[in-house]
Amino acid sequence: MSSDNSHKLLQELLTSQAAGELVALATIVQARGSVPRHTGTKMLIYANGRSSGTIGGGEMESRVIAEAKAALGDGQPRIVPYKLVEPGRGDPGVCGGEVEVYIEPYAPPATIFVIGCGHVGQAVADLAHWLGFRVVVTDDRTELASADFIPHADVYLPGSIDDALANFRVTSNTAIVAVTRNVAVDRQILPKLVATPAPYIGIMGSKRRWTHTRRLLLEDGLSEADLARFHSPLGLELNAESPKEIAVSILAEIIMLRRGGDGQRMKVDG
């Protein structure tokens, strides 16, 4: 592959990342003997099976696409070797050479989407930024969703939740933190979040507030399966009181779920 084509594919990779798409980069890292493409050749494979570029076509490329889909599923890079010698033994070609292909999945950037820019929302955004998350904030009180109140956000979306969702794509790597001012706001925004691919949708409030909110949402037509998408009250139980302490409990729960933790103390007996 020419350097120009490699550059185009890498630019396409960056564009896909910015758009929140899952994509895998496959690169030939070792080539020996007679092979259709040589070291450095690249191609992109998307979650829907679409590809860009080629590492040689044929059965080998089909197998690489299948491996790339698996990598997008488990998030793990891998090196896959192929011999192109004897199809009767299962080889994907007859060229006579050998290749190794490095497949690296790229997920959308880990993002915290903060809905509600009051004191808790400000604290969540600041802590999420410090932790290295991409931070997106929105509030219908447009003056709050600004750098004046939240200086470290990456994206500001003042206005309605409809406008925010029209201008920001929630991905499978987005955690939604709804820290709004009352039940009426939650009743308006939560139905619009159910269909998003976000793995975490946390709702701030007491158990009593959530009981009231879920009753209203059921009246509005949401199902029990829909309501199961929400974490409320959100965060780990830290007996947190200040906005900053509450932010710690919220981000701790998100990190726990992302990393597969259990939230237990790491105490060694004795």
Q: Is the peptide bond before 151 cis (omega within 30 degrees of 0)?
A: no
Task: Give the residue ranges of DSSP H helices in the chain.
Answer: 3-18, 58-74, 119-130, 161-167, 183-189, 207-219, 224-227, 243-259
Cβ atoms of 180 and 186 closer than 8 Å: yes
**Bridge partners (DSSP) listed for residue 113:** 136, 176
Q: What angle do CA 176, 75, 25 make, to 5 degrees?
A: 110
Q: Strand pairing partners for 157?
A: 138
Domain positions in the chain: 3-106, 111-259
Which residue, 109, 127, 255, is CA-closest to 174?
Answer: 109
Q: What is the pLDDT, as a whole number, of residue 38?
A: 82
Local mean pLDDT, 10-residue blocks, the chain (270 residues): 74 84 89 77 89 82 88 88 60 63 90 97 98 96 96 95 93 94 95 94 94 96 96 94 96 94 79
Give me the pLDDT at residue 85, please: 56
Q: Does domain 111-259 have CATH number 3.40.50.10860?
A: no
Rounded to 5 degrees, what are φ and ψ at 217? Answer: -65, -35
- Greatest extent of the chain over all pairs of C-alpha atoms, in Å: 70
Token pair listed for 214 = 């879920």
d(CA 2, CA 24): 20
Contact 9, 26 (CB under 8 A): no
- Give the pLDDT of residue 46: 92
pTM: 0.76
- Yes or no: say if 195 and 222 are a contact pair by the CB < 8 Å rule: no
Structure tokens belonging to residue 89:
């033994």
> Which residues touch 262 (CB under 8 Å, ≥6 apart)?
256
